[in-house]
Amino acid sequence: MLPLTKKNSTMTMPSTLANLASKKLILGSNSPRRQELLRGLGLEFVVRVHPIEEYLPPDLPAAYAAAYLSKLKADAFPGPLDANEILITADTVVIDRGKVLGKPSNELEAFEMLKSLSGTTHTVMTAVTLKDHKNSITLEDETEVTFRFLDEEEIWFYLKQYQPYDKAGSYGIQEWIGFVGVSSITGSYFTVMGFPLHLVYAQLKKWV
Protein backbone atom coordinates (compact mmCIF):
# COMPACT_ATOMS: atom_id res chain seq x y z
CA MET A 1 0.00 0.00 0.00
CA LEU A 2 1.32 3.44 -0.93
CA PRO A 3 1.84 5.82 1.99
CA LEU A 4 -0.64 8.66 2.37
CA THR A 5 0.75 12.10 1.78
CA LYS A 6 -0.33 15.17 3.67
CA LYS A 7 -1.79 18.11 1.79
CA ASN A 8 0.62 20.99 1.58
CA SER A 9 -0.74 23.60 3.98
CA THR A 10 1.47 26.25 2.37
CA MET A 11 0.17 25.65 -1.14
CA THR A 12 0.53 28.75 -3.30
CA MET A 13 -2.74 30.56 -3.97
CA PRO A 14 -3.85 31.28 -7.56
CA SER A 15 -2.07 34.29 -9.02
CA THR A 16 -5.40 36.10 -9.48
CA LEU A 17 -6.07 36.02 -5.74
CA ALA A 18 -2.51 37.08 -4.98
CA ASN A 19 -2.74 40.01 -7.40
CA LEU A 20 -6.12 41.08 -6.03
CA ALA A 21 -4.63 41.33 -2.55
CA SER A 22 -3.14 44.67 -3.61
CA LYS A 23 -6.54 45.94 -4.76
CA LYS A 24 -9.28 47.48 -2.64
CA LEU A 25 -12.55 45.86 -3.63
CA ILE A 26 -15.68 47.86 -2.89
CA LEU A 27 -18.98 46.00 -2.93
CA GLY A 28 -21.83 48.43 -3.51
CA SER A 29 -24.52 46.14 -2.08
CA ASN A 30 -26.09 45.55 1.32
CA SER A 31 -27.22 42.09 0.24
CA PRO A 32 -26.01 39.48 2.75
CA ARG A 33 -26.10 36.91 -0.05
CA ARG A 34 -23.76 38.88 -2.32
CA GLN A 35 -21.42 39.56 0.57
CA GLU A 36 -21.35 35.86 1.46
CA LEU A 37 -20.72 34.80 -2.13
CA LEU A 38 -17.95 37.34 -2.76
CA ARG A 39 -16.33 36.29 0.50
CA GLY A 40 -16.52 32.72 -0.77
CA LEU A 41 -14.09 33.63 -3.56
CA GLY A 42 -11.47 34.26 -0.89
CA LEU A 43 -11.47 38.01 -1.46
CA GLU A 44 -11.25 40.84 1.03
CA PHE A 45 -13.61 43.75 0.41
CA VAL A 46 -15.44 46.64 2.03
CA VAL A 47 -19.14 47.40 1.69
CA ARG A 48 -20.04 50.92 0.64
CA VAL A 49 -23.58 51.58 -0.55
CA HIS A 50 -25.09 54.72 -2.04
CA PRO A 51 -28.87 54.21 -2.29
CA ILE A 52 -30.62 55.11 -5.51
CA GLU A 53 -34.21 55.18 -6.62
CA GLU A 54 -34.60 51.92 -8.54
CA TYR A 55 -36.67 53.37 -11.35
CA LEU A 56 -37.03 51.71 -14.74
CA PRO A 57 -38.00 53.73 -17.83
CA PRO A 58 -41.42 52.51 -18.99
CA ASP A 59 -40.15 51.74 -22.50
CA LEU A 60 -37.12 49.75 -21.31
CA PRO A 61 -37.26 46.09 -22.47
CA ALA A 62 -37.39 43.63 -19.58
CA ALA A 63 -34.17 41.94 -20.71
CA TYR A 64 -32.23 45.19 -20.09
CA ALA A 65 -33.62 45.95 -16.63
CA ALA A 66 -30.93 44.29 -14.50
CA ALA A 67 -28.08 45.83 -16.49
CA TYR A 68 -29.71 49.26 -16.38
CA LEU A 69 -30.06 49.18 -12.58
CA SER A 70 -26.61 47.72 -11.97
CA LYS A 71 -24.97 50.45 -14.06
CA LEU A 72 -27.14 53.09 -12.38
CA LYS A 73 -25.80 52.01 -8.99
CA ALA A 74 -22.20 52.19 -10.22
CA ASP A 75 -22.68 55.61 -11.82
CA ALA A 76 -24.19 56.95 -8.59
CA PHE A 77 -21.03 56.17 -6.65
CA PRO A 78 -19.57 59.55 -5.64
CA GLY A 79 -16.13 60.76 -6.61
CA PRO A 80 -13.41 59.13 -8.71
CA LEU A 81 -11.98 55.77 -7.74
CA ASP A 82 -8.35 55.47 -6.68
CA ALA A 83 -5.94 53.54 -8.89
CA ASN A 84 -6.11 50.47 -6.65
CA GLU A 85 -9.91 50.44 -6.16
CA ILE A 86 -12.46 48.27 -7.96
CA LEU A 87 -16.17 48.92 -7.43
CA ILE A 88 -18.69 46.08 -7.85
CA THR A 89 -22.44 46.69 -8.08
CA ALA A 90 -25.21 44.29 -9.06
CA ASP A 91 -28.91 43.93 -9.60
CA THR A 92 -31.25 40.99 -10.08
CA VAL A 93 -34.68 40.88 -11.67
CA VAL A 94 -37.19 38.14 -12.27
CA ILE A 95 -38.90 38.16 -15.65
CA ASP A 96 -42.26 36.42 -15.77
CA ARG A 97 -43.88 36.27 -19.21
CA GLY A 98 -42.18 39.48 -20.29
CA LYS A 99 -42.91 41.39 -17.08
CA VAL A 100 -40.20 42.49 -14.67
CA LEU A 101 -40.77 41.44 -11.08
CA GLY A 102 -38.66 43.46 -8.71
CA LYS A 103 -38.82 43.53 -4.92
CA PRO A 104 -42.36 43.43 -3.54
CA SER A 105 -43.64 46.51 -1.74
CA ASN A 106 -45.86 44.55 0.64
CA GLU A 107 -47.03 41.10 1.67
CA LEU A 108 -49.97 40.97 -0.73
CA GLU A 109 -47.80 41.87 -3.71
CA ALA A 110 -45.30 39.20 -2.66
CA PHE A 111 -48.11 36.64 -2.52
CA GLU A 112 -49.34 37.59 -5.99
CA MET A 113 -45.81 37.31 -7.39
CA LEU A 114 -45.30 33.80 -6.05
CA LYS A 115 -48.77 32.72 -7.12
CA SER A 116 -47.91 33.94 -10.63
CA LEU A 117 -44.62 31.99 -10.63
CA SER A 118 -46.29 28.81 -9.33
CA GLY A 119 -46.31 26.01 -11.91
CA THR A 120 -44.38 27.99 -14.52
CA THR A 121 -40.88 28.70 -15.78
CA HIS A 122 -39.45 32.19 -15.42
CA THR A 123 -36.13 33.91 -16.10
CA VAL A 124 -33.81 35.35 -13.47
CA MET A 125 -31.36 37.92 -14.80
CA THR A 126 -28.47 39.27 -12.78
CA ALA A 127 -26.16 42.01 -13.99
CA VAL A 128 -22.86 42.97 -12.35
CA THR A 129 -20.97 46.18 -13.04
CA LEU A 130 -17.24 46.36 -12.34
CA LYS A 131 -15.58 49.76 -12.37
CA ASP A 132 -12.07 51.03 -11.72
CA HIS A 133 -10.41 54.41 -12.28
CA LYS A 134 -10.19 53.78 -16.04
CA ASN A 135 -12.73 51.19 -17.10
CA SER A 136 -16.31 50.11 -16.52
CA ILE A 137 -18.04 46.97 -17.74
CA THR A 138 -21.47 45.45 -17.10
CA LEU A 139 -21.84 41.67 -17.32
CA GLU A 140 -25.12 39.79 -17.53
CA ASP A 141 -26.23 36.23 -16.89
CA GLU A 142 -29.61 34.52 -16.95
CA THR A 143 -31.04 31.33 -15.53
CA GLU A 144 -34.36 29.63 -16.22
CA VAL A 145 -36.18 28.53 -13.05
CA THR A 146 -39.20 26.23 -12.92
CA PHE A 147 -41.54 26.06 -9.94
CA ARG A 148 -43.91 23.20 -9.29
CA PHE A 149 -47.46 24.20 -8.40
CA LEU A 150 -47.40 25.83 -4.97
CA ASP A 151 -50.30 25.59 -2.55
CA GLU A 152 -51.49 28.91 -1.17
CA GLU A 153 -50.75 27.73 2.36
CA GLU A 154 -47.16 27.00 1.30
CA ILE A 155 -46.80 30.51 -0.12
CA TRP A 156 -48.22 32.12 3.02
CA PHE A 157 -46.03 29.99 5.26
CA TYR A 158 -42.93 31.06 3.36
CA LEU A 159 -43.88 34.74 3.40
CA LYS A 160 -44.64 34.73 7.13
CA GLN A 161 -41.51 32.80 8.09
CA TYR A 162 -38.94 34.33 5.72
CA GLN A 163 -40.36 37.76 4.76
CA PRO A 164 -38.54 37.89 1.40
CA TYR A 165 -39.35 41.52 0.71
CA ASP A 166 -35.76 42.37 -0.19
CA LYS A 167 -35.68 39.80 -2.99
CA ALA A 168 -36.65 40.11 -6.65
CA GLY A 169 -39.68 37.97 -7.38
CA SER A 170 -40.34 37.57 -3.64
CA TYR A 171 -38.22 34.48 -3.12
CA GLY A 172 -34.75 33.22 -2.33
CA ILE A 173 -33.81 29.98 -4.04
CA GLN A 174 -31.57 29.15 -1.08
CA GLU A 175 -34.54 29.29 1.31
CA TRP A 176 -37.46 26.96 2.13
CA ILE A 177 -39.50 27.85 -0.94
CA GLY A 178 -36.54 26.95 -3.14
CA PHE A 179 -36.07 23.63 -1.37
CA VAL A 180 -39.68 22.52 -1.80
CA GLY A 181 -40.80 24.48 -4.85
CA VAL A 182 -38.05 24.66 -7.47
CA SER A 183 -38.22 21.60 -9.71
CA SER A 184 -35.45 22.55 -12.13
CA ILE A 185 -33.04 25.29 -13.17
CA THR A 186 -31.12 25.85 -16.39
CA GLY A 187 -28.09 28.01 -15.78
CA SER A 188 -26.16 29.20 -12.75
CA TYR A 189 -27.61 28.74 -9.27
CA PHE A 190 -25.55 31.72 -8.10
CA THR A 191 -27.14 33.94 -10.74
CA VAL A 192 -30.49 33.23 -9.10
CA MET A 193 -28.96 34.10 -5.73
CA GLY A 194 -27.94 37.42 -7.23
CA PHE A 195 -24.25 37.13 -7.99
CA PRO A 196 -22.84 35.17 -10.99
CA LEU A 197 -19.47 34.39 -9.44
CA HIS A 198 -17.97 32.83 -12.55
CA LEU A 199 -18.41 36.09 -14.48
CA VAL A 200 -17.12 38.26 -11.63
CA TYR A 201 -14.00 36.15 -11.13
CA ALA A 202 -13.27 35.93 -14.86
CA GLN A 203 -13.45 39.72 -15.24
CA LEU A 204 -11.33 40.40 -12.17
CA LYS A 205 -8.79 37.98 -13.57
CA LYS A 206 -8.55 40.08 -16.75
CA TRP A 207 -8.05 43.29 -14.79
CA VAL A 208 -5.20 42.08 -12.58
Pick the catalytic residue: 91, 141, 151, 166?
91
Measured in Å, how far apart are the chain's first and last C-alpha atoms? Answer: 44
Query: What value does the mean pLDDT of the chain take?
Result: 92
Angle at 85 between CA 80 and CA 86, to 5 degrees: 100
Cα separation, 81 vs 120, in Å, equals 43
Contact call for residues 132 and 169 (beta carbons, < 8 A): no
Q: What is the pLDDT of residues 136-190, one digit of tens each?
A: 999 999 999 999 999 999 999 999 999 999 999 999 999 999 999 999 999 999 9
Rounded CA separation 107/123 (Å):
22
Q: What one-letter code names the amino acid at 56?
A: L
This prediction's pTM: 0.89
Catalytic (active site) residue 151: no
Mind listing the domains of the chain with CATH numbers? 21-207 (3.90.950.10)
Confidence of residue 1 (pLDDT cuts 50, 70, 90): very low
Share of the chain above pLDDT 90, in %: 81
